[in-house]
Structures are given as structure tokens and as C-alpha cells.
Amino acid sequence: SQQGEEDPQALSIQEGENATMNCSYKTSINNLQWYRQNSGRGLVHLILIRSNEREKHSGRLRVTLDTSKKSSSLLITASRAADTASYFCATDYNAGNMLTFGGGTRLMVKP
Amino acid sequence: DAGVIQSPRHEVTEMGQEVTLRCKPISGHDYLFWYRQTMMRGLELLIYFNNNVPIDDSGMPEDRFSAKMPNASFSTLKIQPSEPRDSAVYFCASRRTSYNEQFFGPGTRLTVL
């Protein structure tokens, strides 16, 4: 399976701190996406970074992509309790038709 | 738009029974995906459709699983007969051709006793 791997598996921080999650993958990709899943809910798309991009921002989110190392990171700045969720990276090998998800990082932000 | 709709939200059944999960994609989306999520295996793609046609079903675990999409607004995932190891959360997602983002439904939590 060409699955991405997230690191760490779990992360606990205080409100206001930054949270960084990493994702590694195995083969060349078209793009990499990050999704959030709140407990008992479906996944929600956060941000997409294409293989020819190195960094992308969306609000408090910052994503980097290093294709030479086959890795990506998601940074959430000034975290809030509402950011508590699981975060998944998904690698796109086939123009968006088949996403391969990693195991996720469970983030807990303590108020 | 109501988003992707799945039913039922919870299903508890006994081993050997037939289970049918339903999905209504977002109107105008021409791709539909079925995923399964478990603690052990994470989120796995089972099958996806494009314009109601199954394109890749390599993720379907075995012949007990089947999926159909009779029209653009409805899809089913059927398990017959069900087994305890099929217990999982099953998600349906859809997307439009011009966008890579997938929109997920709330999921169906299946428990097979």
C-alpha cells in the first residue's frame, strides 16, 4: 500500500501554542491534501498543495512539501480548543481519483 | 447544499445478515467514493465511481461486498453475508471533476455481532 505516514500519532498542546504534524509518503504524487476529522464525523478538506509547490498558507494553517524527501508538514498556529481533532494527510497519485490516507495525528488542544 | 448524505448513521446487525448502506452525493459531483475506517487499518478506499460507472474496485475486501450506483444521486454498498470483522465506519465521499477536494458524508457506523 502506498500509504502516507503521519508523525506524531498523538499530540497534546496548550491553547495558543503551535502544532506541527508531519507526513511521509513513498512514491511520486500529483498533490498532497490535509483533512481534519472531528470525533464521530466525516473528514473535512483543509488544504491542498501541488507537487510543484513548496509552501501554502490558509488562515492559521501552513503546509510545506518537500518532494525530494517525500514529506509534508502541517503547522497550525495559535491553536484553539476547537482545533482538537484528528488530522490526516492524503496523497494523490491519480489526479484526485484515488487518495491514499495516512494513519492520522490525534491533536488535543487544552484550554 | 445539504452535503453528502448517508443512511443509516448507525447499524447493528447479526452475523450472516445482509447490510445495505446508502449514499446521496452532492448534486453535480460526478465522482463517488466508498471508504472504510477502522482503528487497525485506518481509512481505506473500497471502490469509486465516475459518472455512475465503477472505475476501481480493487479495495473491495471480498465477494461479500458489492456496490452500485444506479443514478447520479444514489449509491449503495451491500455486504452479504456480514461478518464481525466488517464492523467499521463506512464513509461515502464525492467530488467534482474540476476539483481535487473530496467531500465526505458523516459516515455509517456498522456493528456486526
pLDDT band at A7 (very low <50, low <70, confident <90, very high): confident
> B92 is written with which cell numbers?
461515502
Q: Show Cβ contacts of residue A93 under 8 Å, excluding neighbours closer than 6 positions.
A: A2, A27, A28, A29, A30, A100
Q: Is A4 in contact with A90 (CB distance < 8 Å)?
A: yes
pLDDT of residue B113: 96
> What one-character-per-residue DSSP string does B34-65 give?
EEEEETTTEEEEEEEEETTEEEE-TT--STTE
B11: closest CA of chain A, how far (Å): 14
pLDDT of residue A2: 45
Sites in chain B below the pLDDT cut of 50: none
Mutate to test the interface with A, among B36, B43, B103 (most CBs of A within 10 A): B43
Asked if the Cβ–Cβ distance from B95 to A100 is below 8 Å, we say: no
In tens, the pLDDT along A42-101 reads 999 999 999 999 999 999 999 999 999 999 999 999 999 999 999 999 998 776 678 899
Name which of B105, B112, B32, B97 is nearest B67 in CA terms. Answer: B32
B104: closest CA of chain A, how far (Å): 6
d(CA B70, CA A74): 39
- 52-81 in A: which are within 8 Å (CB) of B? none
In tens, the pLDDT along A32-49 reads 999 999 999 999 999 999
Interface A–B counts its CB contacts (< 8 A) at 49
Give the strand order in the sheet containing B74-79: B5-7, B19-24, B74-79, B65-71
d(CA A79, CA A109): 7
For residue B47, the cross-strand partners are B34
pLDDT of residue A1: 44
pLDDT of residue A96: 63
Q: Is B105 in contact with B3 (CB distance < 8 Å)?
A: yes
Residues of chain B contacting residue A105, judged by C-beta atoms under 8 Å apart: none
pLDDT of residue A62: 98
pLDDT of residue B98: 82
